[in-house]
Amino acid sequence: MQRQNGVALWRQIADRIRTSIADGNYDREGKVPPELTLASEFGVNRHTVRSALAALAEEGIVRAVQGRGTLIERKERINFPISRRTRFTQGIGDQAREKEGLLLASSQETPSPDIAGRLKLPAGSKVIRLETLRKADRRPVSRASSWFAANRFGGIAEAYAKTGSITAAFEAFGVKDYVRAVTEISAVHADAQDLADLGLSPGAIVLVTRALNCDMDGAPVQYSVTRFPADLVQFTIEN
């Protein structure tokens, strides 16, 4: 545990306690060890631990009760499988009771060279961009920007808004099936937009996927960049 590194001690400790909770280290008790115990474990003052626990309480992970202790409210990470047949809603499965897909915005635009290349679009083509937010049990779990060829998928925004599902929207355009061709995964610190969209606090980690879906003829149909809160989500690749 160090100081003078731009990350406050209480935040480093909050991160470690959050990880411990996610790893199930305190399952036996259902609560976090007493503040004085944590303080001596981490070698810091009790007040510093209190700051860390206050931050976790703010996130809804723990709840302090005077006289009893600090109870764990939520602990598990959602597991998100990635495969040739990656489907968001199916992937979440029964890991959450309530699942929502919200369309935040849509627009038609001229694609950047990168996106035109990924979708293999001829020069001068237009794309439709969808900005979507997905929630599981009312917590945001992903924030995606998706691009589709405008000439093939004009009106996909309305189809998505109606169903809340990409798979269903594709069906309306005659794409009965599609497969995940490539997925790139990286991790970065949350930016200002993430803090707002995903309800995170500064210093939080965001997992970023860049994915290309193709139809059964191998033609690219969707390119998306999706951001997930790392404290809530992990990926599984099954080959």
Partner DNA sequence: CTTAAATGTCTATTGATATAGACAACTAGA
Partner DNA sequence: TCTAGTTGTCTATATCAATAGACATTTAAG
Q: Is the dihedral of CA 199, 201, 205, 206 positive or negative?
A: positive
- Give phi and psi for 102, each to the nearest 5: -110, 135
64 binds, among a second copy, DNA, none (CB under 5 to 8 A by kind): DNA
Q: Are 204 and 221 in contact (CB under 8 A)?
A: no
| Binding residue for a second copy, selected from 189, 193, 196, 219, defined by CB under 8 A | 189
Span 203-232, contacts to DNA by CB under 7 A: none
If binding is defined by CB under 7 A, does position 4 make contact with DNA? Answer: yes
84 binds, among a second copy, DNA, none (CB under 5 to 8 A by kind): a second copy
Question: What tokens appear for 38 in the block?
Answer: 């944590």
Distance CA 119, CA 218 (A): 11
Shortest CB 151 distance to a second copy, Å: 26
Shortest CB 63 distance to DNA, Å: 8
Span 21-40, contacts to DNA by CB under 7 A: 32, 34-37
If binding is defined by CB under 8 A, does position 82 make contact with a second copy? Answer: yes
**Who contacts 160 (Cβ-Cβ below 8 Å, separation ≥6)?**
101, 103, 106, 130, 132, 166, 169
Terminus-to-terminus CA distance in the chain, angstroms?
Answer: 39
Comparing CA positions, the residue from 225, 213, 227 lying closest to residue 149 is: 213
If binding is defined by CB under 8 A, does position 230 make contact with a second copy? Answer: yes
> Residue numbers of the site for DNA (CB under 7 A)?
3-6, 8-11, 32, 34-37, 43-45, 47-48, 50-51, 53, 64-70
> Residue numbers of the site for a second copy (CB under 8 A)?
1-2, 5-8, 10-12, 14-16, 19, 51, 55, 77, 79, 82-84, 179-189, 191-192, 195, 201-203, 205, 207, 230, 233-239
